Amino acid sequence: MMQNDKEFEFTRDDFDYLRKIVTDTTGILADDDKYSMFYSRLARRVRKLGLKNFSEYRSYLNSNRGSESIELVNSVTTNLTAFFRENHHFDFIKDTIVPELKLRGTKKIRIWSAGCSTGEEPYSIAITLAEAIPDYKNWDIKILATDIDSYVVNKASSAVYDLNRVDSINKTLLNKYFKKGTGDSSGFVKVNPELVKMIDFKQLNLLHNWPISDTMDFIFCRNVVIYFDKPTKNKLVERYAELMIDEGYLFMGHSESLYKSTEKFHLLGKTIYQKTGKVT
């Protein structure tokens, strides 16, 4: 399968070889329709390394498997996100979860944003909690934010965004929780340090060990399991349940479902699941 209009020859064998490494490394499945995406994103990598073709890239990858497999995964994983994406999830935090937490009376919250991308999701969670809990600074709130892509984790931890990334945020919230840059930083905003302190950003492969000791009140895993086969998805969801409080909440992406995948969660509606309580 040769593309004459491409800068580099990219055969079907190249595609199959590279996507198998991605699947073996991450569990993420790349369908045939990802052929062009693999080429366009990895051609940049071939060019950056000064290589002549994908055959040379495969040789380079074999010689530098540890470091280059990370670059390969970073290149082809999708990181589409936005602040307050699927806003009903954040309404649920404000209207349902926070009142339940207040009734518990512990002032302790543990959250995991699994697949945090460039950080818009965990910062949206932090803003929602700050708005719903006026004395949030007196609470023990920790948000773990992880992604397999080390580049986007570094971007997220910087807490800096282009102005066009925040133009959909309510102006009151924007002025309250972001600071506009000046001079060389003009055109950018930075998240309020009090919110940044809530979040711990880490690079994490969901198929590997999870060095997590906290028990989570709720977990965001949106637009993540869609890339896994059913057995991997089921195993992942079971692991989430083990890490979560009884009757904790799991948030999924709009195109994802746990139908016939697990008995550990039941659907509340609008891609919000609750961990099934202990059977007595």
Question: Among residues 85, 110, 147, 222, which one is catalytic?
Answer: 147
> How big is the CA angle at 277 (ends 273 and 279), to the nearest 5 degrees?
140
The strands making up 188-191's β-sheet, listed across from edge to edge, are 160-162, 188-191, 178-180
Catalytic residue list contains 147: yes
Structure tokens at 276: 């099934």
Angle at alpha carbon of residue 208, lines to 204 and 209, rounded to 5°: 90
SS3 state of residue 245: strand
Does 14 qualify as catalytic in the annotation? no
**Pair 144, 200: CB distance under 8 Å:** yes
The residues near 126 (Cβ < 8 Å, ≥ 6 apart) are 141, 143, 195, 198, 199
Kindly list the catalytic residues.
Answer: 41, 147
